[in-house]
Structure 1
Amino acid sequence: MTQTVTREGTLKFQNVSMNAKEQQSDRLDLKSNPISDRENGAEAHSATSGNSIVSMIICVLGIYASFLTWAVLQERISTTPYGADGRVFKASLVINTVQSVLAAVVGFIYLEFKKKGDDAKYNASIFPNSKTVQQYLLVAVCQSLASPFAYASLSYVDYLTLLLAKSCKLLPVMTLHLTIYRRRYPLYKYMIVLAITAGVCMFSVFHSSTKAKSASSAASSASSSSSLFGFLLLGINLFLDGFYNTTQDHMFHTNKSITGPHMMCGLNAISGALTALVLISPFTNQLSEAIDFISLHPRILYDILLFGICGALGQVFIFHTLEKYGSIILVTVTVTRKMFSMLLSVIWFNHKLQLGQWAGVFLVFAGIGFEAWLKYSEKKVKTK
């Protein structure tokens, strides 16, 4: 009997031992699972990182393709004749209206697409209150006024000068932040502005000296006066650009319900409505002039529509890049895009630049590039 008990006890012990071994084996399997999970996590992270890089490349290429084409079309529409009569399209309000309407439509589609995601901020109204509408209206008025000054300046300065001057938005933005919002900047910001301003001056001086060599003194004096008036128009354009840029920044900081798609749709809708009202008013005959020009040269209609589509798609890529990859990536892409726009203009329209002008271009983009590098360095220090 004792033996039986012992055997039963032994059998029970063996069963318990076997169960313990199985449990231990199960624990070992469980311990091995985190390794597998880490491997799966690493693979998932690698896949996500790879998708992010591909997405960023698509955004960068989208910005380049949209705005390089946009720049070529802008120069073609506003500076080159379309027929043997030598007439140049001057109805800038029509161009602005087409671009604003197309950008508002594309912005609305973009916003509806973003609403399908998990982020609830995109479900907010485009015009949540009267204050937001007033801010949109202020920005739209400045934006609508700024563009005609830029187009008008092309009668007195060339497109390359316009491109280079438009790269100097930092100057009016800083000035307005200092005077309106009482914001102070570090010394290097002022040095960058000085370098950019010097670069634009070098480009203009060498461009003027080139013209003077092939003209009489009277014609040279008239040309200099015209250039000064052109720069005055550019200055007004930059001031208005700076004002609506700072107002946009202020809106983003003070109203968290406003996102890029909201701004794109709302602002362009109001801008399009404003310029359309001006077009049908008795104060301008640009609409009838545009219809007359298009009837004689229908090819320009395709250029204007493509110009508007490129601008609208470019804005989508810009807002998506800003949201997903931050301002540093966007600034870098924007700076290089402007450089490529200038190079493309030189090649496409066969512009001739003097060595001093190239030096001025280098000084401008060196200043902008240095600013982008400093922003990147500051952000890198903050993330450590």
Structure 2
Amino acid sequence: MTLFKIGFSVIGIYTCFLTWGVLQERISTTPYGERKDGRFRYFIFLNMIQSLMASTVAFTCLTLTRKSMIENINLSLIKKLIQVAFVGTIGPPFGYESLKHIDYPTIILVTVGVSTFMLLQPVSEKKKSLASNSLYGILLLSTNLLIDGITNSTQDQIFHKFKITGLQMMFFMNLFSGTFTFSYLLFPNNPELNNAIEFCGKYPEVFQDILLFSICGAVGQCFIFFTLQNFGSLVVVTITVTRKLFTMLISIFWFDHHLGIGQWFAVALVFSGIGLESYIKKLDNSKNKLDKIRDEKKE
């Protein structure tokens, strides 16, 4: 049954977030319009739509399954969820901002710890002039990853301490995140909300991408929180790391990114490392089971 649940989680996360990743890159980097002169730059707005869609999906799932939304919910938990939601809210903008300075395959490889990707990139005169931008992009992305790490570990603690369901956490975290981002967009002298709405009106195709992006992200979060609740953040990280690598490969071919030989070598190293880590974990688990059986026989 455990193997079935993990397989269910992997298929769900891969299906939703591989599509989500393609849509994210298209929204963030592809020019819109007949003349290809429109670039979407309103990522707080995008984050708000994603959060509101995810909270709506979680609410719908809780209602359909007749699960209580407020069971085991108390003031201490609400405070903790607000803190995690706030930290999680400020993370994605760093990731989106980094897309302005480094390309998507680089983002994926930095996400899984391969800093050599940028170092091995073939250097042209134009790329030399963009080196500072790349460094700044990696700094932004590193901040995003640090925030993600804090969020994941805190979510683990919440599950163990408060015994809430994945759908409950998904609903409240996204509700609070959506509230934070919407409040920011309503600040005086902040034109992002109006500009984003005008952009969507001028380029209707971007709204379709945003809607699909939000739906994929929301359904994907259902699988993420299901996995968090049942298996913990380490399993989630393992699944998402491999998923991001496949997202990178799709990005390379879908958006026609060009990699050097050194970069392909870095990609191969990452896949090999993940495979080796999984094999070692399997051996360790088998050894622990054998030791346990021997100890029981001795008793």
Q: Place the TM-score, normalised by the shorter chain, in its bin.
A: 0.7 to 0.9
TM-score, normalised with respect to structure 1 = 0.68
Paired position in structure 2 for 1:86: 37
What CA deviation, in whole Å up to 9, does each residue of 1:159-183 have, x standing for no partner? 111112223xxxxxxxxxxxxxxxx
Q: 1:75 aligns with which of 25, 36, 44?
A: 25
Q: Using the alignment, how far apart are the partners of 1:91 and 1:104 within structure 2?
A: 21
Q: Is the 8 A contact 1:139 1:247 kept in 2?
A: yes
Paired position in structure 1 for 2:143: 236
Paired position in structure 2 for 1:97: 48
Shift of 1:57: 5.2
Shift of 1:274: 0.7
Q: How does 1:260-275 map to 2 (within 5 A)?
A: 260-275=166-181
Paired position in structure 2 for 1:357: 263
Q: Is the 8 A contact 2:152 2:233 kept in 1?
A: no
Shift of 1:133: 1.5
What CA deviation, in whole Å up to 9, does each residue of 1:49-97 have, x standing for no partner? 7xx85x7655443322211110000000001101215231010011111
3-state secondary structure, aligned to 1:82: coil
Over 3 Å counting, the alpha-carbon distance change for 1:312 and 1:92 in structure 2 is: same
Q: How does 1:37-116 map to 2 (within 5 A)?
A: 53=4, 59-83=9-33, 84-115=35-66
Shift of 1:330: 5.2
Paired position in structure 2 for 1:248: 155
* Rg larger for: 1
Aligned residues: 289
3-state secondary structure, aligned to 1:317: helix
Q: Using the alignment, how far apart are the partners of 1:102 and 1:375 within structure 2?
A: 37
Shift of 1:220: 4.5
Q: How does 1:297-336 map to 2 (within 5 A)?
A: 297-321=203-227, 333-336=239-242
Unaligned 5+ segments in structure 2 are 291-299
Shift of 1:254: 2.3
What CA deviation, in whole Å up to 9, does each residue of 1:138-178 have, x standing for no partner? 111111111111111111100111112223xxxxxxxxxxx
Paired position in structure 2 for 1:161: 106
Please say which of residues 68-77 and 138-147 is displaced more in the overlay: 138-147
Q: Using the alignment, how far apart are the partners of 2:289 and 2:169 within structure 1?
A: 29
Q: How does 1:256-295 map to 2 (within 5 A)?
A: 257-282=163-188, 284-295=190-201
Q: 2:133 aligns with which of 204, 226, 229?
A: 226
Unaligned 5+ segments in structure 1 are 1-48, 117-122, 168-195
Tell me which amino acid in the other structure corresponds to 1:229: Y
3-state secondary structure, aligned to 2:272: helix
Paired position in structure 1 for 2:76: 131
- The two structures, once aligned, show a CA RMSD in angstroms of 2.6
Q: Is the 8 A contact 1:331 1:372 kept in 2?
A: no
Q: Using the alignment, how far apart are the partners of 2:148 and 2:15 within structure 1?
A: 23
Q: Is the 8 A contact 2:45 2:185 kept in 1?
A: yes
Percent identical residues? 42
Q: Is the 8 A contact 1:160 1:342 kept in 2?
A: yes
3-state secondary structure, aligned to 1:106: helix
Shift of 1:380: 4.1
Q: Using the alignment, how far apart are the partners of 1:258 and 1:152 within structure 2?
A: 33
Over 3 Å counting, the alpha-carbon distance change for 1:253 and 1:368 in structure 2 is: farther
Over 3 Å counting, the alpha-carbon distance change for 1:112 and 1:92 in structure 2 is: same
